[in-house]
Amino acid sequence: MARLKAEIADSVKNFPKLAEMFDTGLSNTLNTTIQQMEDGTTFVITGDIPAMWLRDSAAQVRPYLVAAQEDTALADMIQGLVQRQMEFILLDPYANAFNAAPNGKGHQEDVTEMSPWLWERKYEIDSLCYPLQLSYLLWKNTGRTAQFNETFVQAARTIMQLWRTEQHHETASPYSFERNNCPSSDTLTRNGKGSETAYTGMTWSGFRPSDDACTYGYLVPANMFAVVVLRYLCEIAVEVLSDSELAKEAAVLAEEIDQGIQKHALYEHPEFGTIYAYETDGMGNYNLMDDANVPSLMSIPYLGYTDADDPIYQNTRRFILSESNPYFFKGEAAEGIGSPHTPHRYIWHIALALQGLTASTKEEKERILLLMASTDAGTGMMHEGFNADNPEEYTRPWFSWANMMFCELLMDYCGVRVKR
C-alpha cells in the first residue's frame, strides 16, 4: 500500500492536503475498523457504530483492491471479509447489520425475526448486492477465485431465491419489520409489510441504503445494482464454477428485473425529459428524488448499469443536481445532495464523491475534491453530512465509508481505478 500512497502523493504535489487526507483515510480504515478473526475471516465496523453492515464493509475495503494486486495480506483481508459476508447472508439474508459474535447487541426490541447475531434486520437489496460485487472485484483485480467456494454458491442461491420471493412481496414474502417509539423512517407501515406494491419484475426492498424506509417498495437504483451483480454472478458461474444452471438462473433473473426497470421506473419529466424515478410501486406512483447513499441514481454508471453518457442518465443527473430534487441543497459553503436521514440542508461527502466519480471532466473531479477537502471542519477526515452553510456543523466524525469514497475519487482523479 506504500506504493499506492506514494503514487497518489506524487500525482497531487500541488495539493498536499489531498495527499494527507488520502493517507489518513486509508490508514484510519485499516487500523481502526478492520478486525482479523480467529477463523481467518474479517469483521469490519462502520466506524462509530460497533457493528458490520454488509454494504458499508464492502465499500470500505474497495479502494484496497488496487494495492491488493501485489499485497497478499490485503488480498487475504478482503477474501476473509467476503467469506464472513457470505456466512452472514446464510445466517439471515434479510439482515443488514451483524455483530461480531452472538452477543445480542443492537436493536433486539425490533418486531421481526431477530437473533443475537443481528445488530439490525432492515431488509435492503444493496446488502446482498455488495458482497457479490466485492467477490467479483477481488477476482478481477487479483485473479483470486478461492472466494468462490461452497459457501459462496449457497449464499448466491439464497440471494436469488430471496429476490424471486420479493418480486411477489404482497403474496409470498415472510418478511416484516416494525420498530416502536421511533421516527416513521425507521419502521414499515401496514403492520411491518410496507406500502402496497404490484408485480413489476423488479424485486422489493423495505429500506434504502440510508437505512430509511422506502416510500414505495421498488427502489430503482438498488434494482439496477441487482441487475449488475447478477450478470457478474453469471460470469463467475461460467468462467470459474462451470455451473451452467447457476449461470442461467442469474441471467434470467437479471433480465426480469431489468425489464421491470425499463417498463416501470422511467418518468417523463416536463423539464428534464425521460428520467429514472428513485422509487415506484408498480401502480403509477413515483418518488422523484435522489439520496446521498449508494446505490443512488447518481451512482448508476459507477455501479456499471449504464455509461455516464447515457441520455436518460444525463437527464436524471441534471434533475438530481437541481432544486427539483428535494434533497439537493445550495449553501454558502457548498452545494450537493443530502438525505432525509440527516438534518435539512446537510450535504453528504459520499454524495459529493459520487458526483466526482461520475463527472465527465478531470476539472470537475478536481473541483469536487477540493470542495470535500475544504468542508472537513479541519479534521482531515470526511463526515456523514455537513451544514451547507457551515461545515463546522456535521454528523458522524468517524465514518469510514465516507473516508474511503474520498480516497477512491482521488485515485480516480489520478488515473488509478479498481478494475471491473
Give tens-digit pLDDT for 72-127: 999 999 999 999 999 999 999 999 999 999 999 999 999 999 999 999 999 999 99
Could you identify the residue written with the cell 425499463? 262
Kindly report, residue by residue over 342-365, the tens digit of the pLDDT.
999 999 999 999 999 999 999 999
**249 Cβ partners below 8 Å, 6+ apart?**
157, 160
The model carries a pTM of 0.98
pLDDT band at 10; cut points 50, 70, 90: very high
How far is 284 from 198, CA to CA, in rounded Å? Answer: 10
Residue-level pLDDT at 74:
98
Residue-level pLDDT at 381:
97
If you count them, how many residues does the chain have? 420
Q: Is the peptide bond before 131 cis (omega within 30 degrees of 0)?
A: no
Report yes or no on 403 lying in a domain. Answer: yes
Whether the Cβ atoms of residue 264 and residue 203 lie closer than 8 Å to each other: no
Q: Report residue 191 as a C-alpha cell.
A: 403492520
- Residues 212/216/297/126 CA torsion (nearest 10 deg): 60
Report yes or no on 171 lying in a domain. Answer: no
Q: What does residue 275 show for φ and ψ, rounded to 5 degrees?
A: -130, 165
How far is 265 from 202, CA to CA, in rounded Å? Answer: 10
Mean pLDDT in residue range 245-257: 98
How far is 171 from 347, CA to CA, in rounded Å? Answer: 39
Task: Provide the H-helix boundaries in 278-348.
Answer: 300-303, 311-320
pLDDT band at 151; cut points 50, 70, 90: very high
Report yes or no on 40 lying in a domain. Answer: no
Kindly report, residue by residue over 311-326, the tens digit of the pLDDT.
999 999 999 999 999 9
Q: 283: how many CB neighbours lie within 10 A of its CB?
A: 12
Residue-level pLDDT at 269:
98
Closest alpha carbon to 400 in 35, 72, 59, 94: 59
How far is 245 from 8, CA to CA, in rounded Å? Answer: 43
Query: Concatenated DSSP letters for 49-82?
Result: SSSEEHHHHHHHHTTHHHHTTT-HHHHHHHHHHH
Report yes or no on 362 lying in a domain. Answer: yes
Residue-level pLDDT at 164:
98
Whether the Cβ atoms of residue 93 and residue 113 lie closer than 8 Å to each other: no
Q: What's the domain range around 383?
A: 327-414
| Percent of the chain clearing pLDDT 70 (strictly above) | 100
Domain count, the chain: 1
Q: 234: how many CB neighbours lie within 10 A of its CB?
A: 20
Report yes or no on 363 lying in a domain. Answer: yes
How far is 129 from 152, CA to CA, in rounded Å? Answer: 13
**DSSP strand E in 250-314: where?**
266-269, 273-276, 279-280, 286-287
Report yes or no on 339 lying in a domain. Answer: yes
Whether the Cβ atoms of residue 148 and residue 240 lie closer than 8 Å to each other: yes
Report yes or no on 70 lying in a domain. Answer: no
Could you identify the residue written with the cell 466524525? 397
Handedness of CA 216, 49, 295, 326 (dihedral sign): positive
The overall average pLDDT reported for the chain is 98
**How far from 71 is each of 2, 4, 36, 415, CA to CA, in Å?**
10, 11, 16, 20
Q: Are strands 218-219 and 346-348 parallel, antiparallel or unpaired?
A: unpaired
Residue-level pLDDT at 260:
98
Residue-level pLDDT at 361:
97
Mean pLDDT in residue range 194-221: 98
Kindly report, residue by residue over 257-273, the tens digit of the pLDDT.
999 999 999 999 999 99
Whether the Cβ atoms of residue 300 and residue 238 lie closer than 8 Å to each other: no
Residue-level pLDDT at 225:
99
Report yes or no on 26 lying in a domain. Answer: no
DSSP label of 387: E
